[in-house]
């Protein structure tokens, strides 16, 4: 019998089937003699024991089929009656072992039978069997939750079995743990399957929460308690992740965060904290009372003291610790202990005492800085590490103590993983109410620092736990820009209380301090990567322009050595951090100074670069067209060599790896190419692009050289390198465009000369750019190349050779027919840029070709393509207006009437599309209607299209579309009113247009839309254009009402536009008065009689407001405003004299009275 079922069976499937046959033989056959009960039980015990012993061994290469496992388990349960408790216990152990060992998912039919069996066993069998039964239940429901719906009332109902066994009153911790594990397994989500119903979720959540809130009693085993907590944490995490549970109630959030904070520190050496049942939102730390811990009670204070000491003393302290704690063979201990002390002192910001102050520092010394950092930093603090290895614990600890610490670390990791899920389930604005409970703040005088996530990151002996804490901190910091934006400590406050802004600033400073301490002390590469990522997240969100300078300088100096770390991930994340520094709120004066430091200064301060590597990095400048001298030095830099960061990135991107540095990548055989590892080169390209974007004045001295870098990258085979090369090219082009903008603050002599820009683009167009645009199989790369080509300076484009101009245009027109929507969108956008170039817009053929290409894209199925096409159509119609004004009749006659009609119809159709398309479609409509000539308007083919387009504009003004769309529609109607060929004032649509604008100017919530509608109402230049007296008076009355409502707003943000709105309305009113007829005066006089004082005060305010820029961007000075008023008075006086025999109205007298008041006020001011 033993030979048949022995573990030496070569085929597990065959062995399994023999067990099945043996169990089948024990089933009573119909009509056969009933087997002896005692012998049958003995045989079952033997089979179960053999199966259990086999299932505990190493897993075979090929296990039994799931069907065989399920069949065996069902047969075993059928043979064991519930009154045979020892066998019930064994069969449940078998279920637990087999399902876990062979990772079997039980099908629904067998699951129903086995679950019914287990539930019945829990109800009928003695309590000593319940742990094994619950373990079997946990294995059965794992990833099977949706199939267990009909058993949920028995398991999770108010009196459900799992609820009873997991109750806090349950004395047996193993039983409680098994019940909680079963409950947690039920909470696992299965993709594509329904999740637990809400009542059951709430029951499970409360159960898990009560488990985490419970305290360990003296009779409970430490490891068992740890496993209980772990299971509860996994359960909550499953609810948060799989159930997409949104934590909304304050008490629910507070309770969960309190237990998570408690578990985050579970078993942490040297720390024991007492937490309340719930945390509450508060601006200051709360509730973390500490229990005394004998051996390590004073350590947090010692740690704090070390952080606050002068930098010089830090180095000495660490040197002392190094002497006391040296447990490793570090080779030449004498030399390295000194080097280690100096290095640590340096990394905490003591730039003056640099380990590489000798410019002849050997490459081997520098290699030691990066490669030997792990060993040195392990001696940073007495409590920090159990072992310098990167494994969780040293073998030397051994025994139960080691096992217990491992379980405690698992609890802390589980709590942090759960916290990570909770962060995604809590609104950020709610989460930041608990900021002070988890993020460190500088301690008050005489008080210890509150425990926080940084306590774990600095103090936990497990690298994995430290990394988890840093991941959580990163998640909190992500998206915190708005919350942190209130921080301010640039000015020393001297008040009786600490403002919230100063509290947040203090927290940011403390985060900097702690993360830099962690950076120096860390020995695990994985955790180091998390520290650097966390720093990058902090820097991306903190408002450094409102903080005292110095924070970024310390990070800058301290991160330099990690660029040459042995682990590629650390090197990549270090570059990401540098990228964050140069992109945050650029340009920052502090970062500007860092970038201006000579490379040699940066090298000495950081000990981060080997001299021969630095020298070789000059190669990247030698083979370039402008090697004689760089372009003009507009940035005012005196140094002829690039800044440290620029040179670093370029050398990583284009130089081959050198032997002295290749050992740092020994663990990455896949990166055995001639260049640095690809992730490192990609990150360097991104940092370079950010540097060019944020600090173009710094990078422009090396404009052509950086263009050569972009060219070389685009010539490579790796599409990701090509892509980032194209992005760098785009940033270089955009940087020049920004300098040449009309409102640019850069003086003409400090800009990159046009001749240099022409050389740059000639190099690009003779290089890989055209090939990339024509032949690349990668759509994203083509898209970036299109964007790069659209960033060319118009002045430089006009100076390119004719064939190169034709090449650019031909490429873009061709790509406009691409099947890929990304490429097509980029191409049509680029055409929209080119159509504004002065050298192209006067070419009727190019304008026509571009119009046809844009109209083609305007009907594309992709919304993104249509949005870009509408923007380009808006630019194209802007060009029509510019050409009409500069070239006159000749351009209008040459431009195709059929194409113009097609543009009008397409824009009308696009005005009914989504808002992103609509906003530019209505802009285009206004321009085309402005462009139309009398012969177009008289053409019957145009008549219907014009009517439809005008109705589209009017309905858009009145619609509930976004404010941008309505603003553009008002602007478009204003453009329509500029066309004297349109029957303004006569056609029926005139009344509708004026009515729509009058309604908007009085009641639109957005003041910028009101301003634009008032401006449109003041555009018609003749009285006839305003139509009847009734219509003219309606417009007048609407503007008066709008003036009185110019300060009424529900949105405080709109209030800042109220002055501009009043200015524009006053201009419109004076414009109307300057055109009014005698029949209009009675209504005007009636309005003045009713609201004269209010109107007078607003007009006086308008007159005295001096020089200001109105919404149209036009300056109106005092004389101009007075001139408009005087002309209105003169016009009205003339009309009023003609009414001598009739009832006269004295509007002109009222205006003269206003003007006199203004003159008197001006004289008083001058006196």
More confident residue, 609 or 774: 774
Mean pLDDT value across the chain: 80
Q: Is the pTM of this model over 0.85?
A: no
pLDDT number for residue 14:
55
pLDDT in the model for residue 60: 65
The answer on pLDDT for 664 being more than 80 is no
Inform me whether the pLDDT recorded for 1086 exceeds 60: yes
**Residue/partner pairs of 356-359 with CB below 8 Å, 24 or more apart:** 356/603, 356/604, 356/606, 356/607, 357/604, 359/600, 359/604, 359/611
Element (H, E) at 411: helix 399-425
What Å distances lie between residue 195 and 142, 189, 234, CA to CA? 14, 6, 16
How far is residue 777 CA from its own chain's centroid?
A: 29
Q: How far is CA 696 from the centre of its chain?
A: 24
Rg (CA), the chain: 39
pLDDT one-digit tens code per residue, 694-740: 999 989 999 999 999 999 999 999 999 999 999 999 999 999 999 99
The backbone torsions φ and ψ at residue 274, rounded to the nearest 5 degrees and listed phi first, read: -105, 130
Instruction: Locate the DSSP E strands across 153-254.
Output: none
Tens digits of residue pLDDT in 309-355? 333 333 434 333 333 333 233 333 333 333 333 333 333 333 333 33
Q: What is the pLDDT of residues 401-426, one digit of tens each?
A: 889 999 999 999 999 999 999 998 88
CB within 8 Å of 637: residues ≥ 6 apart? 596, 698, 701
CA atoms within a 13 Å half-sphere pointing along the CA-CB vector of 629: 4
List alpha helices for 776-914, DSSP H.
Answer: 779-789, 794-797, 802-815, 821-834, 838-841, 844-858, 863-887, 889-894, 897-910
Instruction: Give all strands (DSSP E) within 79-189, no chain letters.
Output: none
Where is pLDDT greater, at 60 or 461? 461
Return the number of other C-beta atoms located less than 10 Å from residue 67's C-beta. 11
In this predicted structure, what is the pLDDT of residue 1075?
A: 87
Mean pLDDT of 684-692: 96
Q: Which of 821, 827, 832 is nearest to 788 (CA)?
A: 827
The stretch 243-265 carries a mean pLDDT of 84
What are the angstrom distances between the C-alpha of 612 and each of 356, 642, 658, 1114? 14, 16, 10, 59
Percent of the chain with pLDDT over 70: 78
When comparing pLDDT for 124 and 330, which is higher? 124
Q: Is the peptide bond before 1145 cis (omega within 30 degrees of 0)?
A: no
Distances from the Cα of 319 to the Cα of 316, 339, 558, 836, angstroms: 5, 10, 19, 66
Angle between helix 525-541 and 551-559 (nearest 10): 150
Residue 373 confidence (pLDDT) above 70: no
What integer pLDDT is reported at residue 803 of this predicted model? 94
Contact 928, 884 (CB under 8 A): no
- Has residue 510 got a pLDDT over 80? yes
Q: Is the pLDDT of residue 371 over 60?
A: no
User: Which of 438-447, 614-623, 1135-1144 is the most confident on average?
Assistant: 438-447
pLDDT of residue 418: 95
Distance CA 307, CA 902 (A): 72
More confident residue, 654 or 371: 654
Whole-number pLDDT of residue 667? 47
Instruction: Compute φ and ψ for 1109, nearest 5 degrees.
Output: -100, 125
Nearest CA to 370 out of 745, 47, 687, 663 is that of 663
Maximum Cα–Cα distance across the chain: 136
Specify the pLDDT at position 312. Answer: 37
Q: Residue 3: its pLDDT value, please?
A: 38
- pLDDT category, 159, cuts 50, 70, 90? confident
- pLDDT for residue 10 is more than 50: no
Closest CA to 475 of 530, 423, 527: 423
Q: Are residues 115 and 60 in contact, defined by beta-carbon separation less than 8 angstroms?
A: no
pLDDT at 690 exceeding the cut of 70: yes
DSSP state of 587: S
The per-residue pLDDT for range 222-246, each reduced to its tens digit, is: 899 999 999 999 999 999 987 667 7
How many Å apart are CA 858 and CA 674, to the nearest integer? 47
> What are the C-alpha distances in Å from 1136 to residues 415, 1033, 1155?
85, 17, 18
What is the share, in percent, of the chain residues with pLDDT greater than 90? Answer: 48
> Mean pLDDT throughout 468-485?
95
> Is a pLDDT exceeding 80 seen at residue 1009?
yes
Query: pLDDT confidence of 39, banded at 50, 70, 90?
Result: confident
pLDDT 10s digits, 62-99: 678 888 889 889 988 988 889 889 999 999 999 998 89
């Amino acid at each position: 019998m033993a030979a048949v079922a022995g573990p030496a069976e070569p085929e597990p499937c065959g062995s399994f089937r023999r067990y099945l046959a043996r169990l089948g033989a024990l089933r009573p056959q119909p009509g056969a003699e009933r087997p002896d009960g005692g012998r049958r039980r003995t045989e079952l015990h033997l089979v179960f024991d053999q199966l259990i012993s086999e299932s505990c061994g190493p897993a075979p290469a090929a296990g039994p089929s799931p069907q065989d496992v399920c069949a065996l388990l069902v047969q075993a349960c059928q043979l064991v009656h519930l009154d045979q408790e020892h066998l019930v216990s064994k069969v449940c152990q078998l279920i637990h072992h087999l399902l876990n060992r062979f990772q079997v998912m039980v099908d629904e039919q067998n699951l129903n039978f086995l679950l019914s069996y287990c539930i019945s066993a829990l109800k009928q069998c003695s309590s000593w069997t319940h742990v094994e039964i619950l373990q079997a239940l946990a294995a059965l429901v794992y990833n099977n939750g949706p199939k267990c719906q009909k058993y949920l009332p028995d398991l999770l109902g108010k009196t459900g079995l799992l609820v009873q066994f997991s109750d806090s009153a349950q004395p047996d911790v193993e039983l409680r743990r098994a019940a909680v594990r079963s409950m947690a397994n039920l909470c696992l989500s299965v993709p594509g399957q329904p999740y637990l119903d809400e009542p059951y979720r709430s029951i499970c959540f409360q159960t898990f929460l009560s488990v985490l809130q419970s305290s360990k009693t003296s009779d409970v085993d430490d490891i068992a308690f740890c496993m209980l907590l772990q299971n509860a944490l996994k359960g909550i995490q499953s609810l948060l992740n799989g159930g997409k549970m949104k934590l909304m109630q304050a008490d629910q959030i507070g309770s969960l965060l309190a237990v998570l904070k408690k578990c985050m520190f579970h078993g942490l050496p040297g720390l024991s904290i007492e937490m309340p049942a719930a945390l509450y939102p508060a601006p200051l730390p709360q509730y973390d009372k500490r229990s005394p811990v004998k051996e390590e009670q004073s350590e947090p204070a010692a740690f704090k003291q070390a952080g606050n000491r002068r930098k010089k003393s830090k180095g000495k302290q660490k040197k002392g610790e190094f002497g006391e704690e040296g447990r490793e063979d570090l080779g030449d201990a004498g030399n390295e202990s000194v080097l280690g002390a100096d290095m640590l002192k340096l990394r905490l910001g003591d730039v003056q005492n640099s380990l590489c102050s000798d410019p002849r520092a050997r490459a081997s010394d520098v290699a030691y800085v990066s490669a030997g950092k792990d060993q040195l930093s392990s001696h940073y603090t007495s409590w920090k590490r159990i072992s310098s290895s990167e494994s969780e614990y040293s073998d030397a600890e051994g025994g139960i103590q080691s096992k217990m610490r491992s379980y405690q670390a698992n609890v802390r990791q589980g709590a942090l993983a759960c916290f990570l899920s909770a962060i995604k389930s809590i609104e950020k604005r709610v989460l930041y109410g608990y900021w002070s409970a988890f993020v460190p703040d500088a301690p008050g005088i005489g008080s210890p620092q509150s425990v926080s996530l940084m306590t774990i990151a600095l103090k936990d002996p497990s690298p994995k736990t430290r990394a988890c804490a840093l991941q959580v901190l990163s998640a909190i910091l992500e998206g915190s820009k708005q919350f942190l934006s209130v921080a301010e400590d640039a000015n020393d406050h001297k008040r009786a209380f600490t403002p919230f802004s100063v509290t947040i600033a203090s927290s940011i400073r403390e985060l900097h301090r702690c993360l830099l301490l962690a950076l120096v002390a860390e020995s695990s590469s994985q955790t180091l990567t998390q520290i650097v990522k966390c720093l990058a997240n902090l820097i991306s969100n903190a408002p450094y322009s409102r903080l005292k300078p110095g924070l970024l300088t310390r990070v800058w100096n301290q991160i330099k050595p990690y660029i040459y770390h042995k682990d590629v991930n650390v090197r990549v994340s270090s570059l990401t951090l540098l990228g964050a520094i140069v992109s945050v709120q650029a340009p920052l004066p502090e970062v500007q100074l860092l970038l201006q430091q000579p490379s040699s200064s940066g090298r000495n301060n950081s000990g981060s670069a080997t001299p021969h590597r630095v020298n070789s990095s000059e190669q990247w400048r030698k083979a370039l067209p402008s090697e004689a001298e760089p372009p003009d030095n507009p940035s005012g830099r005196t140094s002829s060599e690039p800044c440290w960061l620029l040179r670093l990135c370029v050398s990583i991107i284009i130089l081959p790896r050198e032997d002295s540095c290749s050992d740092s990548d020994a663990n990455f055989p896949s990166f055995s190419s001639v260049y640095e590892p690809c992730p490192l080169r990609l990150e360097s390209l991104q940092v370079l692009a950010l540097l060019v974007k944020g600090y173009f004045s710094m990078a422009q001295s090396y404009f052509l050289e950086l263009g050569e870098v972009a060219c070389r990258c685009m010539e490579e085979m790796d599409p990701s390198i090509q892509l980032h090369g194209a992005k760098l090219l785009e940033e270089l082009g955009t940087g020049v465009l920004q300098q040449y903008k009309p409102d640019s603050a850069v003086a003409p002599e400090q800009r990159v000369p046009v001749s240099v820009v022409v050389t740059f683009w000639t190099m690009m167009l003779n290089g890989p750019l055209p090939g990339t645009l024509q032949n690349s199989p990668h759509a994203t790369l083509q898209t970036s190349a299109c964007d790069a080509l659209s960033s060319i300076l118009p002045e430089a484009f006009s100076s390119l050779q004719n064939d190169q101009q034709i090449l650019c245009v031909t490429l873009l027109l061709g790509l406009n027919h691409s099947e890929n929507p990304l490429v097509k969108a980029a191409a049509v956008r680029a055409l929209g840029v080119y159509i504004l170039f002065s050298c192209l817009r006067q070419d009727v053929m190019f304008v026509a070709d571009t119009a046809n290409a844009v109209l083609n894209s305007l009907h594309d199925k992709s919304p993104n393509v249509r949005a870009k096409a509408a923007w380009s159509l808006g630019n194209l119609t802007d060009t029509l207006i510019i050409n009409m004004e500069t070239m006159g009749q000749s351009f209008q006659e040459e431009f195709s009437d059929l194409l113009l009609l097609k543009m009008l119809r397409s824009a009308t159709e696009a005005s009914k599309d989504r808002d992103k398309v609509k906003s530019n479609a209505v802009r285009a409509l206004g321009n085309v209607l402005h462009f139309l000539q009398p012969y177009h308007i008289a053409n019957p083919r145009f008549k219907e299209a014009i009517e439809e387009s005008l109705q589209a504009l009017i309905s858009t003004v009145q619609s509930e579309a976004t404010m941008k769309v309505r603003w553009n529609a008002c602007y478009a109607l204003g453009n329509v009113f500029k066309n004297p060929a349109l029957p303004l004032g006569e056609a029926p649509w005139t009344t509708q247009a004026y009515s729509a604008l009058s309604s908007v100017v009085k009641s639109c919530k957005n003041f910028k839309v009101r301003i634009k509608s008032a401006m449109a109402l003041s555009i018609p230049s003749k009285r006839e254009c305003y139509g009847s007296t009734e219509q003219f008076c309606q417009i007048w009355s609407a503007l008066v009402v709008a003036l009185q409502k110019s300060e009424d707003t529900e949105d405080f943000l709109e209030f800042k536009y109220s002055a501009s709105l009043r200015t524009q309305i006053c201009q419109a009113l004076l414009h109307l008065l300057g055109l009014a007829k005698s029949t209009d005066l009675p209504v005007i006089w009636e309005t003045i009689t009713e609201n004269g004082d209010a109107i007078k005060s607003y007009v006086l305010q308008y007159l005295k407001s001096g020089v200001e820029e109105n919404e149209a961007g036009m300056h109106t000075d005092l004389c101009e405003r007075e001139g408009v008023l005087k002309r209105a008075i003169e016009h009205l006086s003339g009309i009023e004299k003609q009414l001598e025999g009739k009832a006269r109205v004295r509007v002109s007298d009222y205006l003269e009275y206003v003007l006199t008041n203004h003159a008197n006020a001006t004289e008083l001011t001058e006196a």
